[in-house]
Amino acid sequence: MKIICIGRNYAAHAAELGNEIQKEPVIFMKPDSAVFRQRDAFYLPDWTNDVQYELEVVVRINRLGKNIESRFASKYYQEFTIGIDFTARDVQSQLKAKGLPWEKAKAFDQSAVLGEFLSADEYDLSNLNFQLYKNGDLVQDGNTSLMLHNIPNIIEHCSQYFTLKIGDLIFTGTPEGVGPVTSRDLLEGYIEGEKVLNVKIK
């Protein structure tokens, strides 16, 4: 199982971090060891001083696929959720300044949080509302209609380069409002008003 992540997929988020918008999806990867089990608390790593949340819609691949056309993309997933792409922002900034890859800042253990999976047939993933609350305060409020690259196009693009396998996860990018977490914070994620994600920070 691999985790494919899409960066800079919402214009407002790219702007808040001072990043240019790219014509093609920006892709990076996380290993399976990055998957966070919600029964545990998320423990802040001791090698960073700035871990930030990034809430994203996540689809789970259910069929083997290569060179998938966007019009057939919906046949390759049945379930979706929201997840958090935890990012060591200080480390990422240092790596970017040197022109180096981001893996240390993005792919560390427990950095890919997954909420409860829902049936894709019961929702319109092209116009989906999702929110993240930190300690009861709304910090991210997204809608998939604002994606620069929608889910079918993401699947088409990624499958040109990587064979998609059953169980693979695609994180589709985060809207604006990313920010830091500290010990004792509580993160709660919602899809269309339904709570599907809960993470305690330690």
DSSP-assigned letter for residue 71? G
Start-to-end CA span in the chain (Å):
27
* The pLDDT of residue 185: 98
Mean pLDDT over 120-125 rounds to: 97
3-200 CATH: 3.90.850.10
0.85 surpassed by pTM = yes
**Closest residue by Cα to residue 4 from 67, 83, 95:** 83
Q: How far is residue 172's CA from residue 150's CA, in Å, rounded to a whole number?
A: 8
Q: Domain residue spans in the chain?
A: 3-200
* The pLDDT of residue 27: 95
User: Which pairs with CB-CB distance under 8 Å and at least 24 residues apart come from 77-80?
Assistant: 77/120, 77/155, 78/119, 78/120, 78/121, 79/117, 79/118, 79/119, 79/120, 80/117, 80/118, 80/120, 80/123, 80/125
- Tell me: the pLDDT tens digits for 165-195? 999 999 999 999 999 999 999 999 999 999 9
Question: What is the token pair recorded at 60?
Answer: 């789970």
Q: How confident is the model at residue 16 (pLDDT cuts 50, 70, 90)?
A: low
Mean pLDDT over 113-138 rounds to: 97
Residue 100: which residues within 8 A CB-CB, separation 6 or more?
none
Q: How far is CA 109 from CA 26, 44, 45, 185, in A?
A: 22, 10, 9, 19
Of 34-38, 101-105, 139-143, the least confident: 34-38
- Tell me: the pLDDT tens digits for 36-63? 976 679 999 999 999 999 999 999 999 9
